[in-house]
Structure 1
Amino acid sequence: MVLILSDDTRVPVLRWVRPPQQARSQQTLDRILDAAEALVSEKGFDDTPVAEIARRAGSSVGAFYARFPDKDALLGALNERFLAQAIATADAALDPARWQHASIDEITAAVVRFLVEIHREQRGLLRAFSTRMRVDPEFQARRDRLARHVAAGLSALLLAHRAEIQHADPQRAVEFALTMVFGSLEHTILFSEMRSGAFVWSDDDLSAELARAFLAYLV
């Protein structure tokens, strides 16, 4: 996934980070995970049968069960892989060296827009993770670890503009504002059928309003 955020060279291009191709012994597993991720994103976890995953991967049901005892184990593996990729993505996207000439407004707008794009493009997968998280503490622990990691990286960027932040506790303000953004994205994108039909936003509008709310809370 590539997101072109601005023609302004002060704002970097943010990309989802995927690891390089693995050794041949890993290729079948990677194909199964790639196929499962694509199908879950398209159809949802519950509506994705093992046979279809195997077909999409160019593999067999036997090869699937040689690696996973059941679909729940597959979802756990997808969640672990997503966590690793998300942390690598956060490290690359929030590298302070890439934002040296960006304003606090530009940082906020770009990061929020990137989060909206990720939630939209990986809606099915994130929805499955969020649903399982409610009953599986391991999924919750991974979510918490990622949230803390993103908050730490974003805080480091924004606190470089501490003089512009009016909140009495800037670190806490960034964490709370990020929690607000994640909660809003879960409600408006991952579980959009739960929201009121009276309030519907395009991704552009959602990005702009969330960035405005985030920034208003800080400054």
Structure 2
Amino acid sequence: MIDVIRAPAQARSQRTMDEVYRSLDALLKTKPFDEITISDLATHADVAVGSIYARFKDKKALLAGLHLKVSDQAITCMGPLSAPAKWEGRTDDQMVRAIMKSVDRFYRREAHVLGAAYLADTGHITEMRTKVWEAAVENFTALLVARDPETDPAQLQLAVRIIVRLTTAVTMQSVLIDWISRWKGAVPNVVALEHLSRFAVDTIVRARTGRLNTGDADVGALDEGG
């Protein structure tokens, strides 16, 4: 549990906490986080303001808690999505495109929470983003190694780091700039995903042929997450 959130000791307190989370989730779909007050949350959740402060240090702590729940969902989804059996008989191209679409759907479904959390960017939220990043690298590296055990695992891990880093950047851009489609000459999201999928497949091929390297780049920088 995040240190600015007090874990409930009773079932009734847990229900109150869950209702406050649901209320924040709902309100974030209608207005920016900065415009949501504790009073708004209390009214929406039909709880006392004091009940909220009994569980959360402040409004950002509540957002961090909701972001934690979304992050845990993301990590849970990676399990079946990165299971080798799921992709038996499928080409790398088919697998990558399907995974990219799943990631895009998740980001769009949770855009209101992820966007608010990204902009608030507390230490707890940064920690969870890093945790999701590390889980993605671990799960999808294991998937590629299982599909091609003859390839150097370090090359495959580097490929996954690069792909996850760029995928995160593209999807978060869509989350933060929901009006990007109105830019003059903007590339539609479906087109961006198509090219990102092609890049991902090409990166995997280069890793399998031992042609993936970072030159003078700082490999460690790829571990920063997004």
Superposed pair shares fold, TM > 0.5? yes
Aligned length, in residue pairs: 196
Over 3 Å counting, the alpha-carbon distance change for 1:104 and 1:29 in structure 2 is same
* Distance in 1 separating the partners of 2:91 and 2:69: 33
Over 3 Å counting, the alpha-carbon distance change for 1:111 and 1:199 in structure 2 is farther
- The residue number in structure 2 matching 1:74 is 62
Over 3 Å counting, the alpha-carbon distance change for 1:42 and 1:28 in structure 2 is same
* Distance in 2 separating the partners of 1:206 and 1:190: 16
Confirm whether residue 111 of structure 1 aligns to residue 82 of structure 2. Answer: no
- The residue number in structure 1 matching 2:136 is 150
- The residue number in structure 2 matching 1:8 is none
Q: 1:121 aligns with which of 109, 113, 128?
A: 109
Quote how far apart the aligned CAs of 1:112 are. Answer: 0.8
Quote how far apart the aligned CAs of 1:65 are. Answer: 2.1
Structure 2 portions without partners, runs of 5+: 1-9, 206-226
- The residue number in structure 1 matching 2:30 is 42
Confirm whether residue 92 of structure 1 aligns to residue 101 of structure 2. Answer: no
Q: Is the 8 A contact 1:116 1:185 kept in 2?
A: yes
* Distance in 2 separating the partners of 1:53 and 1:82: 19
- The residue number in structure 1 matching 2:166 is 180
Quote how far apart the aligned CAs of 1:146 are. Answer: 0.8
- The residue number in structure 2 matching 1:209 is 195
* Distance in 2 separating the partners of 1:121 and 1:35: 16
Over 3 Å counting, the alpha-carbon distance change for 1:72 and 1:96 in structure 2 is same
Quote how far apart the aligned CAs of 1:126 are. Answer: 0.8
Tell me which moved more, 57-66 or 103-112: 57-66
Structure 1 portions without partners, runs of 5+: 1-21
TM-score between the two structures when normalised by the length of structure 2: 0.74
- Counterpart residue type for residue 106 of structure 2: I
TM-score between the two structures when normalised by the length of structure 1: 0.76
- The residue number in structure 1 matching 2:222 is none
Over 3 Å counting, the alpha-carbon distance change for 1:137 and 1:63 in structure 2 is closer
SS of residue paired to 1:46: helix
* Distance in 1 separating the partners of 2:151 and 2:198: 14
Over 3 Å counting, the alpha-carbon distance change for 1:57 and 1:206 in structure 2 is farther
Identity of paired residues, percent?
26
- The residue number in structure 2 matching 1:3 is none
* Distance in 2 separating the partners of 1:162 and 1:190: 36
Q: 1:138 aligns with which of 103, 124, 127?
A: 124
* Distance in 2 separating the partners of 1:196 and 1:158: 37
